[in-house]
């Protein structure tokens, strides 16, 4: 016989051999429990409905329930509801597939036309870069070896506002076979016991004249030496064999300065940007 849930109107084909008027059934769609109507006759409709047994109906509890004189069976109707539920599931699946396709297509377009937009989302193991776009430490170690430091000298200058300052200057040469840029150098001051007294890290390409070193204040000097592109962008797209100047200024230097060390701290390939 055909049984219909009075709550959600899902229909099931129930086995006549176990059907007893008044027995309790549970709808698997809305979980509503209802009694099998007496005199239900589904003859003629059975051919198009799956039976409760075929569809996996389960007996979840047995006889002796209170209020059922002859005992009853509590059936969990587990047949597949027709059309509507299946249609909704299928529609949802199609919608999810469409969303995935659209997202994938959008990411592909962005990667093709503007890959930099995905820099923080999609990583690449082949670019050897960290999350901030810098080359990884192993690659950086090899790259800094391709920059040669030349014409390094140091001297003191009497500044009108800050007193005696210690200046280090020199040039960084691109000794590699490819363009480089945004070269950074680091200088450290040591005493006679090889203890670090002071250190500074600067971008190449920024220098000041002797007159500027004499008359500018500490803040003005510090600001003038911080442009990463350098004066006239001379720290950008440095071709093989080209060099760029650099300068460090230490204010109130210790009287115990015995030596100093300058090294290349970082460099970028032009295509990394």
DSSP 146-192: TEEEEEEEEEEEEETTTEEEEEEEEEEEE-SSS-EEEEEEEEEEE-T
Which position has the token pair 């930099």?
Answer: 116
Residue % of the chain over a pLDDT of 70: 68
The tokens describing 48, both together, are: 């198009």
User: Please, what is the end-to-end C-alpha distance for the chain in angstroms?
Assistant: 74
Q: Is the pLDDT of residue 147 over 90?
A: yes
Q: How far apart are CA 133 and CA 131, in angstroms?
A: 6
CA distance 194 to 258: 8
Give CA 74 to chain center in angstroms.
52
List Cβ neighbours of 103 (8 Å cut-off, separation of 6 or more). none
Question: Residue 196: its pLDDT value, please?
Answer: 95
Specify the pTM: 0.52
Query: Which residues have a Cβ under 8 Å from the Cβ of 214 and sit 6 or more positions away?
Result: 157, 158, 159, 160
What pLDDT, on the 0 to 100 scale, is given for residue 126?
Answer: 43
What is the model's pLDDT at position 263? 95
pLDDT tens for 30-61 read: 888 888 777 654 443 444 444 444 433 333 33
- Residue pair 183/244 in contact (Cβ under 8 Å)? The answer is yes
d(CA 80, CA 1): 16
Distance, CA of 241 to CA of 229 (rounded, Å): 18
What confidence tens digit (pLDDT) does each residue in 54-84 have?
A: 433 333 333 333 333 333 334 555 444 444 4
- In sequence order, the 6+-apart residues with CB closer than 8 A to the CB of 121 are none
Q: For residue 135, what pLDDT band results from cuts at 50, 70 and 90?
A: low
């Amino acid at each position: 016989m055909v049984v219909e849930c009075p709550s959600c109107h899902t229909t099931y084909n129930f086995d006549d051999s176990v059907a007893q008027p008044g027995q309790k059934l549970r709808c698997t769609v809305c979980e509503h429990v209802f009694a099998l109507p007496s005199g239900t006759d589904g003859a003629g409709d059975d051919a198009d409905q799956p039976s409760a047994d075929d569809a996996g109906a389960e007996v979840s509890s047995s006889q002796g329930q209170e209020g059922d004189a002859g005992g009853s069976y509590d059936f969990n109707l587990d047949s597949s509801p027709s059309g509507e539920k299946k249609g909704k599931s299928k529609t949802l699946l199609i919608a999810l597939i469409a969303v995935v396709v659209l997202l994938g297509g959008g990411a592909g377009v962005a990667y093709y036309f503007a890959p930099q937009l995905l820099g923080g989302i999609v990583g690449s193991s082949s670019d050897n870069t960290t999350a901030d776009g810098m080359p990884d430490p192993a690659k950086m170690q090899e790259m800094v070896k391709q920059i040669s430091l030349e014409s390094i000298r140091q001297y003191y200058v009497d500044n009108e506002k800050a007193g005696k300052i210690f200046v280090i200057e020199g040039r960084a040469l691109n000794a590699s076979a490819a363009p480089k840029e945004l070269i950074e150098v680091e200088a450290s001051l040591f005493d006679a016991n090889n203890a670090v007294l002071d250190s500074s890290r600067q971008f190449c390409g920024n220098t000041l004249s002797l007159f500027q070193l004499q008359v500018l204040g500490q803040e003005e000097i510090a600001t003038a030496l911080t442009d990463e592109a350098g004066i006239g962008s001379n720290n950008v797209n440095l071709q093989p064999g080209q060099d760029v100047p650099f300068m460090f200024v230490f204010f109130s230097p210790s009287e115990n300065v015995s030596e100093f060390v300058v090294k290349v701290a970082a460099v970028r390939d032009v295509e990394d940007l």
